[in-house]
Structure formats: structure tokens, C-alpha cells
A and B are shown apart, each in its own frame.
Chain A
Amino acid sequence: MTVDWSWISGHTDDLTTLTLSHLQAALTAVLLGLLISLPLAVVAHRVRPLRGFLLGLSNILFTIPSIAVFVLLLPISGLTRTTTVIGLTIYTLVVLLRNTVEGLDSVPARTKEAARAMGTRPLRTLLTVELPLALPVIMAGVRIATVMSISLVSVATYIGDGGLGQLFTDGFQRNYPTPVIVGVLLTLLSAVAADALLVALQYVLTPWKRRRA
């Protein structure tokens, strides 16, 4: 199994386009997942009876095989980028919802109590006390969801999308390993780079975690 270097140098433009399209699908899904799971997590955290239902639902969605999700979505959104993003978003929910609920749970009762006793109203407490303090746990979820989504985009090759995943089908069909190896490496690199960026983002967003006593 040797790498054909000339193929790589001849396809740099394609590789760049595919990588960007790959990342775009994955990151859009994570952002959408966050937008959906943040309010749901707040509800699950505050309304105890709904907690089990929402977390259970996200678990069940997670167990549907990824290919099946895309197939099931075909009649609705067709062979489009939308289908890819919806499918990926469904998978991010389980991690993001659970971590956000756990993040909110981890905020010390005494701190919330202090906010209330100072005269902070519930929404402001959520935005300025609970979410910032839940951020490390939420970010842990975002990192997992991001890496997971980046690795999952390839599955969407079955519906004609799939970003770097197209390199795998290309390589398999022609029994030509170079695109496959390059695809794997670029996926891996994208995941590592995205994760590093998220770590940096968390560092910037949580200044109180940096300084030790």
C-alpha cells in the first residue's frame, strides 16, 4: 500500500474543497445541536419529570444506525446537504443535552442561592451565573460532539455528500489506496485541529479556571 504523491499534488484544490465542506457540515451540526440542546437542557434541568424523558429520547435517537437516519430523511429533505446536517445534528444531541444538563447540575446550590438572595432574577441567573459555571462541562460535550461529527460526515457519502468521505468511495471503487489514506489523515487532522481550537476557546472563556490558589 503505497501513497501516490503525484495524485496528492494534482488534487490539492479538490482536497481543500472537500475538507472545508466536511468541516462545514460537522460544525453546522454542532452549532445547531447546541441551539437545540441548550433550551432543552434548561427545561430538563428545571422540570424534573421531563428530565428522564428528554435524556431517554436523545439516547434512543442515538441508537438509530447512521445510515438508517440518512435513508429515513431522504423523503423529507432529499439528497442534499440539509439531510447530512440534520442527521449529524441528531447525533450531537445525546452528548450536548446530557453534558449541558450535567453542567447545570454541577453549579453549586450555594452560588445559585447567593445570586437569588442578591436580587438576581432567574433568567439573569441562568445567563450570568449558571451557564458560565456550567461551561467547562458543556465544552467537554461540545468537544466530543465535534470530533464525533467530523468522523461521521463520511457516512453521508451514501447520499452523495460526505465531504472527505467521497475519497473513500473513490479509492475503494478504483482499488487505489492513496485517496483513502489521504481522506483518513485529513479527517484526523481536522478533528485534532477543531479540538485544539475548542480547548483554546474554553481557555479564553473561563479565566477563573486558569489561576490556581
Chain B
Amino acid sequence: MIQFDAVHKRFPNGTTAVHDLSLEMPEGGVTVLVGSSGCGKTTTLRMVNRMVEPTSGTIRVGGKDVQRQDAAELRRSIGYVIQQSGLFPHRTVLDNIATVPLLLGHGRRRARTRAAELLETVGLTAEAGKRYPHQLSGGQQQRVGVARALAADPPVLLMDEPFGAVDPVVRTQLQDELLRLQKELSKTIVFVTHDIDEAVRLGDRIAIFRTGGHLVQCAPPTELLARPADDFVADFLGAERGLKLLSLKTLADVPQGPASEGGAWTLVLDEARKPLHWTSKDADLPVRPLKDDDSLLSALNESVASPTGLVARVDAAGVLTGVSSRDDVHAHAGLAHTEARTQTGVAA
């Protein structure tokens, strides 16, 4: 667990980057710090491994005051992923990943073996290990950055806009990978971004900062979307925050019926009963079948986009299980909101 207690940071030029911050970042969870530039989110992150020293207040990692530890040793015990990877251009990918194990005095061979394992963990080939960073794509470099941060198996990972410099498609892939890794590794992650969608996707808790280093609200994404603390938070979450909430809910509970309710449209299946497309006497239209763990938002989208207003539901193997009506999807979307409001109402 990372605890900020009355932390204040004023830079020598007089600007206050972080104002009286008290915040707990739970063990094994992803805490996302969001806010526009200059709101103190990166300064907050950098105070955890003493890249920036607080003016006053204490920061504890795993119960220990970071100020009382040797800065270099502290940093070796905390993984750090920097914007645009920050890889060492003169070292091979493998040696980049081996950086911290080597600093810790593990032998070169052991460090390289560990690095090779991590290459695989982050989805890169062994061949990529022999290359230099400039020979990789931006997305691959970012994966190496994550592998480097994980090399000494630190309990805490600091990620400073790690996916900011890659294109949206690659960013989504990297986010998926991070979520997959986090399921296995359960690190305590502090993640800085200015992209609220990224925050909602990745965060177990989201802390929203306002210019001047004020923490406005820190809550799980559902609570944040359902009950923003003030207009600033509501504006930051955007006009579609109601839809964002639906992106966090699955459609598992939406009732489904037999596939015969399509009116003029019929759902065409293959021999294995997997949906192929909608058909009528005039035309064929594509179908995008959804699984139980797909989001309520994608169901809403499909209920609007499909010609019948029906959402085709399939099991994990892609075999049709039934269809859900537009009304049922909408009713559930409304229910999700009511639930989120009342749950947080109780919590508050």
C-alpha cells in the first residue's frame, strides 16, 4: 500500500504542484491519477520513488517512510515506466530489461535469463531481445519498458503516461496486455494519464486532480461516473460519462430469448450454430455477436446498429445462445445507473 499523508510540494519557482495531499493507494490495485497538464499528477507519482522530494508531509510504501530510505535502493525496489519508454539506446533490448537485476548485483547470466522470460511475458519474441531499441516500433518499445520495470519483480509499479506516444490501436492492445498482466501479478500500480477513457479502463480507483495540485475526488470508476463530486469532475468525465459507466458493466444479466423474434429479419447460422449475418428478402446485414463478458455499452451499440434492434448472444465458443431485445438492453442500462447511484449512496 502507498500512503500519502498531508503531502505538499512547492517548487523553488514558487508554484505549488501538490497541495495538502492525503491519499491511499491500495495494495494490488491500479490507482490512476488523472487531470489536465500541470495538475500535479506526475509530481505525485515521482514523489513515490523520490525522483521529486516533497516539501512537507510523508509518503509511505509498504508502511515505510520513503524519506528514510536510500533513494537509489528505494528506486530499485519500485518499477518505473516512463513516457516514450526511456530505453537506453546503446543497450540491447535484453540488457535494457536486465538493468535493475544487474544493479542489484544478480549475475549477468541470471539477469539475462530473467530478461528473456520477461520478453515472453510482455509478448515479444526472443529475437527482439538481441535488437537495439531504435529497431523496434513504438508499441514494442513500450512493452520493453514494462518488462524492464518488472525485471526485479517489484511490488510497486509507477507508470507515467506509458502509452501516451503510441497510436490508439496499439494503445488499446497495450492496455489489454497490462490488464492481463495485472490479473496474474497483482502489483500495486500508480498510473498517470490525461486520458479519462484510459483511466476508466485501467483503474481500480481513479484520483482526479485539479490545477494547483488539489485532489478533487478519488473513487472507483463506477462511483466516480455515477456520482461525480462536483462540476469540475463531471466536466472532466465528459458528456458521455453515462455511457462510460456502461462500458464497465457486462451484459451477463440481460435476459435473452429465442432467436425467432427478428420480424422481417432472420439470423443466419452456420452448421455449428454460430451467427453469420442478418438476412431479409431484400438484403444481408452483418451481425456482431456478443459474449456475456462483453460490456453493456457494446450491447447498447449493437441494439442500435443491428437492423432488428436485437443483440445476438453467443457463448465462449461463439455458438448462439439467444437474443436480447433493445428494450431489455435499455432497461438494464438504466438499472446499472440506478444501482451505481444507490450503492455509492450507501457507501457515502
Contact = CB atoms under 8 A, between A and B. Distances in A.
Contact of B88 (A114, A117, A119, A121): A114
Contacts of B199: none
A133 B89 contact: yes
Contacts of B76: 118-119
B134 interface: yes
B87 A118 contact: no
Contact of A211 (B83, B84, B131): B131
Interface of B: 49, 51, 72-77, 80, 82-84, 86-91, 99-100, 103, 131-132, 134-135, 148
A7 interface: no
A211 B49 CA distance: 35
A108 B87 CA distance: 11
Nearest to A112: B86
Contacts of B131: 211
Nearest to A133: B90
Contacts of A129: 88, 90
Interface in A121-162: 121, 124, 129, 132-133
Given A119-B73, A119-B100, A121-B72, 6 more contacts: A116-B75, A117-B49, A117-B75, A119-B76, A212-B135, A213-B135
Nearest to B82: A114
A119 B86 contact: no
27 contacts: A110-B82, A110-B84, A111-B86, A111-B89, A114-B82, A114-B87, A116-B75, A117-B49, A117-B51, A117-B75, A117-B82, A118-B75, A118-B99, A119-B74, A119-B75, A119-B100, A119-B103, A120-B72, A120-B99, A206-B90, A208-B89, A208-B90, A208-B91, A208-B134, A211-B131, A211-B132, A212-B135
Nearest to A132: B90
Contacts of B73: 119
A118 B80 contact: yes
A119 B89 CA distance: 18
A115 interface: yes
B86 A110 contact: yes
A152 to B, nearest CB: 33
A119 B73 CA distance: 6
Interface of A: 108, 110-111, 113-121, 124, 129, 132-133, 206, 208, 211-213
A110 B74 CA distance: 20
Contacts of B103: 118-120, 124
Contacts of B74: 119
Contacts of A111: 86-89
A208 B77 CA distance: 29
A114 B90 contact: no
Given A118-B100, A119-B100, A119-B103, A211 B82 contact: no
Contacts of A132: 90
Contact of A213 (B84, B87, B134): B134
B86 A113 contact: yes
Nearest to A121: B72
A138 to B, nearest CB: 13
Contacts of A121: 72
Nearest to A115: B88
Contacts of A118: 75-76, 80, 99-100, 103, 148
